[in-house]
Structure 1
Amino acid sequence: MMSRLRQAKVRGRLQFDAPLGPRSWFRTGGNAEALFTPADREDLAQLLRQLDPRIPVTVLGACSNVIIRDGGIKGLVIRLGGAFAQVMRQADEVIAGAAALDTTVSEQAAAWGLSGLEFMIGIPGAIGGAVIMNAGAHGSDTSKVLSWAEIMDRRGHIQRLSHADLKFSYRHATLPEGAIVLRVALRGKPAEPAKIRAHMAEIKAQRDESQPVRARTGGSTFRNPTGQKAWALINAAGCRGLRHGGAQVSEKHCNFLLNLGDATSADLEALGETVRQKVQNHAQVQLEWEIKRLGETR
């Protein structure tokens, strides 16, 4: 199935057996069978039209909220680069490419005097992932500010989805199977830039104080169960500081897993499953993974 892909004509970068671990915030994981960074949306569309429909496609953004398993990812991995990271203003909306970092969008909105996107300064990731996971923090989430999202399907066709089309729920948006987010429109409200920046500074200070932001981590590991906090359940089950191989539950914020330096993805996933079991035994609550686990085990 991959022979045709090896002969594909692209303007972007197409690599085979490409390392993914260095791109991950955990710094773990195997290789991509094929890794494509398209030059632009037409380059992406052309490759998708040539692609054997049996080849699986995985889209990676900032790689902040994923565990890439040690056996790597089969099929085609797409990484949207700078051509998909533009941020512009249109009236009181921010139009942002899927590869634009959440923090960049938040800071640019502040520079334009548009409030409402301050919460994104505390989210490690890119806009495409923020839509797919309905990323949120500090009392807001993506669903509260999104007007529309442009997507591309496996046939290379572009479609614009409204807020209603996405059917947002907690840490989830409903997209057509195989859809790739290209860009979005996010609503803002005019406000004094100084006040916006002051709010953002408060969020950053709170994040720095409460989260292991300078460690090799992937952000929040488990979703908050309805009416409860995952970190509190993990702490009550005695998991703060728990280790497995080179992986550890953060002592600073126990809904974060850490790579202490020599962890494998298998260490991280096994530790997470141990935490889930201990919380189940202690509180009869089944934690659900928020971090995406991708690829093959060894």
Structure 2
Amino acid sequence: MTDVSVFPVSGLRGRLTPNAPLGPRAWFRVGGPADWLFIPEDQEDLTVFLKEKPASMPVTVLGACSNVIIRDGGIAGTVIRLARGFADIEVQGTSLIVGAAALDVTVAEHAAAAGLTGLEFLAGIPGSIGGAVRMNAGAYGSDIDAVLEWADVLACNGELRRLSRSELGFAYRHSDLPPDSVVVRASLRGVADDVSSIRDRISGIKASREASQPVRARTGGSTFRNPDGHKAWKLIDDAGCRGLRIGDAQVSEKHCNFLLNLGQASSADLETLGDTVRDKVLAQSGIDLHWEIKRIGRRSEGEKTS
């Protein structure tokens, strides 16, 4: 076990846990432990950590863990998880000022209550706003690029910057945010509309997602990006991968761009299954699928790399 007394940053007010299990926090319910897990009390607490941590210490930021495979060997260094101190949502005119830990669906519902349309698509995206900004999350005809005004970002040295939409360099499921920076807040733009109409659209998105995706399973959202001019699920289906299994890892039969943990899958099983699907799609169609789910951390001892 790691000794918490030897952590190289002092004076932190948030919760600091050595050898912290991460699997229970992930939607797949798999993955090894973090060397350290730090849940900062607020932005000031996080700034202290970033300014004082050793430059050599790896830092990984995790949100709702909805689109990530945490490898079985765990994560080196410190994992930062933003929680209550970063979940505020404030309406300012036609904008919502949103903490990075606020869940996407909660933001959509707050926008509806304020009579602001344009953010309904967030009701169909599992995860939190910090991750949504980092990957330009999108669904149901819109994405973060279409609604973001600015994001407050802490650099790895604790410096706070406010970046505009244009500075973030959004592309399909991509932003130019440095990997070791932390989104702490964002401003999202809405348009005034009838509250009941907005809520009806949110209800429609939730119903559509429930009907078409395995939302009640141990999954991680869309596994692969849609290639230009193609749907990833269709390529996977055409390659004969619907229902394909490796151990307790399975390609969903309901929506085959989703991987499932049927109960006892390891992270290695899930990642191997995904790479197997990629190989089969490439052989059948000549198209190379790219992972949308992030795979992070150390492989377990003896695990083969693809």
Q: Same fold by TM (over 0.5)?
A: yes
Distance 2:7 2:160 in 1: 22
Give unpaired runs (5+ residues) of structure 2: 301-306
Give the equivalent residue in structure 1 for 2:266.
264
The answer to whether 1:86 aligns with 2:88 is yes
Partner secondary structure for residue 225 of structure 1 = coil
Partner secondary structure for residue 63 of structure 1 = coil
Partner secondary structure for residue 67 of structure 1 = strand
Could you say if the C-alpha distance between residues 7 and 44 of structure 1 is closer, same or farther in structure 2, counting changes exceeding 3 Å? Answer: closer
Tell me how far 1:261 sits from its aligned partner. Answer: 0.4
- In the alignment of these two chains, the number of paired residues is 297
CA contact (8 A) 1:5 1:51 kept: no
Deviations 1:110-155 (A, max 9, x none): 0000000000000000000000110000000010000000000111
Partner secondary structure for residue 28 of structure 2 = coil
Residue identity matched to 1:276:
R
Residue identity matched to 2:234:
A
CA contact (8 A) 1:247 1:267 kept: yes
Q: What is the TM-score normalised by the length of structure 1?
A: 0.98
Equivalent residues in 2 for 1:108-147, closer than 5 Å? 108-147=110-149
Deviations 1:195-240 (A, max 9, x none): 0011111111111110000000000000000010000000000000
Moved over 6 A (4+): none
Distance 1:4 1:181 in 2: 28
Tell me how far 1:4 sits from its aligned partner. Answer: 5.6
Q: What is the TM-score normalised by the length of structure 2?
A: 0.95
Distance 2:222 2:179 in 1: 25
Give the equivalent residue in structure 2 for 1:246.
248
Residue identity matched to 1:188:
G
Equivalent residues in 2 for 1:1-298, closer than 5 Å? 5-6=7-8, 8-298=10-300
Distance 1:104 1:84 in 2: 13
Q: CA RMSD in A?
A: 1.1
Tell me how far 1:50 sits from its aligned partner. Answer: 1.4
Could you say if the C-alpha distance between residues 7 and 105 of structure 1 is closer, same or farther in structure 2, counting changes exceeding 3 Å? Answer: closer
CA contact (8 A) 2:8 2:53 kept: no
Distance 1:201 1:231 in 2: 24
Distance 1:236 1:34 in 2: 43
Residue identity matched to 2:291:
W
Instruction: Give the percent of matched residue pairs that are identical in Structure 1 and Structure 2.
Output: 60
